Amino acid sequence: MKSTTEGAKGYRRLIPSLTALVQFEAAARLGSFTTAAGELGVTQAAVSHQVRFLEETLGVRLFHRLHRAIKLTHEGEALYAVVAESMQKIAGVYDRLSTGATDEELILATTAAFSHFRLMPRLSKLKSLSPNLNLRLTTQMFTSDLRHNDVDVAVRYGNGKWRDGSSTLLFDEEVFPVCSPSWLETHEVPTTLEDLARTSLIDYDSTSEGWLAWEEWFSALGARPGKLKYGLRCSLYTDAIHAARHGQGIALGWRRLLEDMLTSGELVRLTDFSLPVQDCYFVFVPRGRTITPAIHALIDWLRDEPANTN
């Protein structure tokens, strides 16, 4: 039977340098020996030396040294996945113990539209489901602006095939015209796509990530109505929806974002014209983070549906 002392020597034999692993993790995460050195407060030569020591100890190459960059090899990817996850766990426990915190905190990154329309109406339910969970929201206007180095979970829109982490499907999406009840009371409902194109439309700037504005929406439905009639044009989707709420015209409604407003009647679906989109919403956990029970609870909360939908 092995003694605990022998076991400790065994770990030391298998993992000869924790310093080398720390510097390897920083270089792999940042994609640069120089940037890693700056973060760690050491020289670039020291980081390079520690990585070379790991490679010699393991007998494998961990990085491809390119002209002005480094790239993980297959073996480097395998080591980084384990090291990053382990260091994240250690850092999380250390932070809680050092601060005396008893509650768990998760940093969730989303777009501003998803945060305003989907998350905020559901925050009270999250507290009832996970009373010991503290949520910190970080929001940007577009998915491409989201940075995952300092977040635990992100909501991303796309095909779910991202190499920098793991994705869990939340739900699909469809897009259709919406307006306020007050606008509907004073305007004739368009019955064709041509009629809709000549109505007071509220537009917003689309992005390269699959988000549709009016021109793309009409085109995807096979309509060529000519010049569209815009009553208001906005750079942000959140502004377009608030304008529709206040009776300024017809906006494109992304059903999953606006379910609460559609359920309450604050916004109404104007016609039967609808476009199911191929991309979906995903919960994205960056590489190196563990999908903990708290994250599973967060996913259940993010999937929460209102009792009735229009």
Contacts of 109 (CB under 8 A, 6+ apart): 137, 138, 139, 140, 146, 147, 148, 151, 153, 154, 155
List, in sequence order, every beta strand (DSSP E) within the chain.
Answer: 63-65, 70-72, 104-111, 133-140, 153-158, 165-179, 201-204, 230-234, 251-254, 268-269, 275-286
Domains and CATH numbers, the chain: 4-99 (1.10.10.10), 104-310 (3.40.190.290)
Place of tokens 């939908």: 309
Q: What is the mean pLDDT of residues 193-201?
A: 93
Instruction: Report how far residue 170's alpha carbon sits from residue 233's, in angstroms, rounded to the nearest whole number.
Output: 30
- Which percentage of the chain shows pLDDT scores above 90? 45
pLDDT the model gives residue 175: 96
Q: What is the pLDDT of residues 72-129, one digit of tens each?
A: 999 998 898 888 877 777 776 676 666 655 556 788 999 889 999 999 988 888 878 7
Q: What is the mean pLDDT of residues 129-133?
A: 78
**Rounded mean pLDDT of the chain?**
84
Residue 50 has pLDDT above 90, yes or no: yes
